[in-house]
Amino acid sequence: MKKILYTLLATVSGLVLLFSYRTSLDAVTPTDASATTATAGGSATTTDTGASGTGTTSGTGTSSNSTTSSTGLADGTYTGQPSQTRYGPVQVQITVSGGQVSDVQAVNYPNSNGRDRQINGTAIPRLVSETIQAQSSQIQMVSGATYTSGGYLSSLQSAIDQAQS
C-alpha cells in the first residue's frame, strides 16, 4: 500500500512540475526591436524599427547613383526586393561608397514576437558583419535562423544587382 501511495505522489509531483514549466518565449521582452547597421570602419549603430518590424521603403527598391568604380558597383544606396519568408518579409538596404559595400541595414525583418526578436537580434548583426567583410552575397547562413538568412541573402543579392546596373 505504501508503494502505491509513493508512486502516486511521485507521479502527481512530476506532472505538476511538467505543466508548470514555461516553454513560451512570448513573456521574454528584449530591450528593443532594432535593426543593426555596421559600417566599413567597424562601428555599429542601431536603428529602431518599431514593434511591427516593417521598414519605410517600398518593395520596388530604391537607389541613388553617383559614380561607378572598377569593382562594378555604383556608389549610392540600394534597397533590395523584400523576400517573403515563413515568418515574414526580410528586406536589406546597402550603401556603396568607393565601389565597396560600406553600410548594410536590415530595414525589414520578422520581429513580431519574442522568439523572432531573440533569433534575429543575433542573426541580423552576424549577417551584416559577414556582408561587409565578404563584399558580396556569398556569406554563410546563420544556424538557427535559416529562414531569415535565406530572405536576407535574397534581398541582399537584389540590392547588389541594382548596384551593378
The rounded distance, in Å, linking the Cα atoms of 78 and 104 is: 10
The domain total for the chain is 1
Domain boundaries, position 115: 31-164
- Counting every residue, how long is the chain? 165
For position 108, what pLDDT does the model report? 93
Identity of the residue numbered 148: T
H, E, C per residue of 61-125: CCECCCCECCCCCECEEEECCCEEECCEEEEEEEEEECCEEEEEEEEECCCCCHHHHHHHHHHHH
**What proportion of the chain, given as a percentage, has pLDDT over 90?**
53
The rounded distance, in Å, linking the Cα atoms of 12 and 143 is: 38
E strand or H helix at 46, and its extent?
Answer: strand 44-48
Is residue 59 predicted with pLDDT exceeding 50? no
Report yes or no on 24 lying in a domain. Answer: no
Is residue 157 predicted with pLDDT exceeding 90? yes
Report yes or no on 26 lying in a domain. Answer: no
Report yes or no on 8 lying in a domain. Answer: no
To 10 degrees, what angle do helices 146-164 and 114-134 make?
Answer: 40
Is residue 49 predicted with pLDDT exceeding 80? no
C-alpha cell at 89: 518579409
For residues 124-142, average pLDDT: 92
Which residue in the block uniquely carries the three cell numbers 541594382?
162
Report yes or no on 22 lying in a domain. Answer: no
Does pTM surpass 0.75? no
For position 120, what pLDDT does the model report? 92
Which of residues 163 and 32 earns the better pLDDT score?
163
Which of residues 129 and 50 earns the better pLDDT score?
129
CATH number of the domain that 152 lies in? 3.90.1010
**What proportion of the chain, given as a percentage, has pLDDT over 70?**
70
E strand or H helix at 153, and its extent?
Answer: helix 146-164
